[in-house]
Amino acid sequence: MNDLSVFDAIIRLIYLGAATCFVLGLHLMNTPATAKRGNRLSMLGMGAGVAAAGAYIVHAAEATLTAWTVLILGAAIGSGLGLTSARRVQMTAMPQLVSLFNAVGGGAAALIGVHDLLAHSGGVPVSIALPAMLDVVIGGVTFSGSLVASGKLQGLISGRPIVFPGARVVNAVLALVLLGVGAWVATGTAGTTGLVIEAVAALGFGVAMVLPIGGADMPVVISLLNACTGTAVAMAGFVIGNTVLIIAGALVGASGGILTKLMADAMNRSLTNIVIGGFGTGDGPGVLSATDGAPVRELAADDAAILLGYADKVIIVPGYGLAAAQAQHACRELAELLEERGAEVAYAIHPVAGRMPGHMNVLLAEANVPYGQMKEMEEINPEFPRTDVALVIGANDVTNPAARRSGNPVSGMPILDVDKARNIIVIKRSMGHGYAGIDNELYTDARTGMFFADAKAGLATLTAAVKAVTA
Amino acid sequence: MNAELLANITIFALSLLVGFEVISKVPATLHTPLMSAANAIHGIVLVGAMLIALTADNLVGYVLLFIAAVFAAMNVVGGYVVTDRMLQMFRERGSRR
């Protein structure tokens, strides 16, 4: 390495400071109490990094007036879009927004690679062409894949797995093009033609990868795409020789990687299995159930209210159905009423209870549920046997005791031990199946009472009934 | 392989390890804000997008610069604002907003 000018050294030190803020910021997210400070610290680092880049461009005095205008205009428009979407988004729509930010981050990273390959017309050294190729491929796949994921979550594209005839062949061809042309681009001699083919193949591959993935697998997909964006940004850092991009990209890559693994484990599915085809494709093993035709006990509101009103310990098991019915507030009101009556109330949250990792916690936090009441699966499972009433709202497969046996679609999936509670109340609209498409044996358990209702209306009815029977 | 590339690979590998270490301590309750915060952090790509301005001197360059700047700025600003908004909602027992 050559000696740096004082100016360059200062810029690099500021980048180091920014990277430090990112690491410390993430570290502070290990408790809800310090998380906000962590995010602010990370924001500070970002501001310093961007300011340093600005100073560097001014100092280099090589940017044309047009370049400056384009940059400032673009940044202003982007900031506006980001600010508006971040302020307006509903918490239920958070996965779509995170997916959208993944898309634009990956897209921006890919464009940096494209620009660099184009700027070095005629022979790019491999040490730049290789990371630039990876940047374009990973960034391109992330961009189109995240847009499809976002569209699926938003309901613009069907959330069901979309499998068209010959999909495997298309995927295989795209993968071959990515590898073959990728190797050519990486030598630095492919020129514009190779780059365009590679970029188009990457975009196509992203679409083809996410389309066949079903709604239930979204937490994994979002985590995976998050990891990809991070990696693409790190590759962009290699291309332009910028360490803060490499560090930040690697941090995000690690975070996405961990979350991907946690989510896949929580569904007891391998990543390959998810990417190749998900729940609800209809091609899984036939419906297996030991409970076909077993009687279901229907519970009236008053009976449910008596169970709840005189319980000492209640665990609420929320699923995405709760959020879909916008029933979080109704749920918290019932919980507060039970607490006022002296009951101990906790929420049991399965890792894949929402549409992205930790989504249910945010939805409950929005409804004013204190985070201390939200318990993770490992923490709450030993408490079910000491629980008077487990109230299941909108959760299905993650409570199915059949998961403990082999030979069915949910086998081996970690579940909440709801069936070990003394009494179980399930609020559900019908006896419909979850994503796994099998009967839930919990519903036919002798200690389970089914309260058939829409989550929001049902909770309001129960709250009123508890007040009435205990008045 | 030149020295700078090797140094960058070292930084990349160590940062991955730091990332695994730091992030595996984040509780599940905060996984959505964590992902959103990580999202905002990869908005650092804005720095890379800005640096395109140094070499952009034709139409293609300007178009790439513009799109990259829009994307990256949206990523940074949106990511931080929405993370902050989410974290505001987490409250301890007894405290009211």
Residue tagged 């005791």 (tokens): A401
pLDDT of residue A274: 74
**Of B2 and A2, the one with more pLDDT:** B2
Strand order in the sheet with A374-376: A374-376, A344-349, A313-318, A389-393, A423-428, A448-452
ipTM field? 0.95
Q: Do B59 and B81 share a domain, yes or no? A: yes
pLDDT digits (tens, 9 = 90+) for A119-159: 876 678 888 999 999 999 999 999 999 999 999 988 888 77
Q: Do B47 and B67 share a domain, yes or no? A: yes
The sign one gets for the Cα dihedral A16, B81, B17, B47 is negative
Considering its fold, how many domains does chain B have in total? 2
Q: How many helices (H) and strands (E) does chain B have?
A: 4, 0
Residue tagged 């919990």 (tokens): A442
- How far is B59 from chain A, CA to nearest CA, in Å? 10
Considering CB atoms only, which of A60, A63, A358 is closest to B31?
A: A358
With respect to residue B4, please indicate whether it lies within any of the assigned structural domains: yes
Return the closest-CA partner of residue A25 out of A51, A49, A43.
Answer: A43
Q: Do B21 and B54 share a domain, yes or no? A: no
Percent of chain A with pLDDT over 90: 68
- How far is A380 from chain B, CA to nearest CA, in Å? 13
With respect to residue B32, please indicate whether it lies within any of the assigned structural domains: no
Considering CB atoms only, which of B15, B71, B86 is closest to A251?
A: B15
Domain of B15, in residue numbers: 1-26
Q: Do B20 and B67 share a domain, yes or no? A: no
pLDDT of residue B96: 52
Alpha-carbon distance values, B19 to A12, A18, A248, A255, B79 (Å): 21, 15, 9, 6, 19
Alpha-carbon distance values, A95 to A6, A220, A223, A404 (Å): 44, 11, 10, 30
Percent of chain B with pLDDT over 90: 84
pTM: 0.90
Rounded distance, CA A388 to CA A401, Å? 18
**Of A284 and A441, the one with more pLDDT:** A441
Annotation says A116 is catalytic: no
In the chain, the amino acid numbered B17 is: L
User: Average pLDDT for residues B19-33, to the nearest whole number?
Assistant: 93
pLDDT of residue A2: 63
With respect to residue B31, please indicate whether it lies within any of the assigned structural domains: no
Q: How confident is the model at residue A289 (pLDDT cuts 50, 70, 90)?
A: very low
pLDDT digits (tens, 9 = 90+) for A52-82: 999 999 999 888 999 999 999 999 999 999 9
Q: Do B18 and B51 share a domain, yes or no? A: no
Using the Cβ of B11 and the Cβ atoms of chain A, whether some distance falls under 8 Å is answered with yes
- How far is B62 from chain A, CA to nearest CA, in Å? 6
CB within 8 Å: A242 and B47:
yes
Q: Do B71 and B47 share a domain, yes or no? A: yes
Residues of chain A with Cβ-Cβ distance to B61 below 8 Å are: 67, 115, 118-119
Q: Given A116, A135, A217, A397, which residue is catalytic?
A: A397
pLDDT digits (tens, 9 = 90+) for A317-372: 999 888 888 899 999 999 999 999 999 999 999 988 888 899 999 999 999 999 99
User: Average pLDDT for residues A432-458, to the nearest whole number?
Assistant: 88
CB within 8 Å: B72 and A255:
no
**Of A43 and A412, the one with more pLDDT:** A43
First to last CA, chain A: 79
- Mutation to test the B interface, candidates A70, A242, A332, A360, most B Cβ within 10 Å: A70
Q: Do B42 and B69 share a domain, yes or no? A: yes
Q: Do B7 and B46 share a domain, yes or no? A: no
Compare all CA atoms of chain B with the CA of A246 and give the residue at the minimum distance: B12
